[in-house]
Amino acid sequence: MGVIADARMQHHYQTCRDESCERFACRVYREGYNDGHAAGYAAGEAAGYSSAHADGYAAASCGEVG
Ligand SMILES: [Zn+2]
């Protein structure tokens, strides 16, 4: 099982899940990941909201609601 030992010896910033890791690559990657995640979440939320709003508006225009 040398694969597991190698994986532990090599520190990959892509797979690092230690939020307090002080390695430069890990810190930069973590910041970028968090920023990208936040931006993606906001964009997805906005798109989902406008889509749902459009559907609700269309339904209301049909006279089914109100
Ligand atoms: Zn790390």
Distance of CA 59 to the CA centre of its chain: 31
**Residue 13 burial (CB < 10 Å; 0-12/13-18/19+)?**
middle
Residue 61 has pLDDT above 80, yes or no: no
What are 5-56's pLDDT values in tens digits? 554 568 999 899 888 999 999 999 989 988 898 898 888 888 888 888 788 8
Distance (angstroms) between ligand 1 centre and the Cα of 11 equals: 6
Residues near 13 by beta carbon (within 8 Å), at least 6 away in sequence = 23, 25, 26, 28, 29, 30
What does the DSSP 8-state code read for residue 15? T
- The residues spanned by each domain of the chain are 10-61
When comparing pLDDT for 62 and 60, which is higher?
Answer: 60
How far apart CA 24 and CA 19 sit, in angstroms, is: 12
Spacing, Cα 5 to ligand 1 middle (Å): 16
Both tokens assigned to 40: 């993606």
Distance in Å, CA 24 to ligand 1 centroid: 8
Q: What is the pLDDT of residue 23?
A: 93
- Ligand 1 midpoint to CA 43 (Å): 28
Quote the pTM value.
0.49
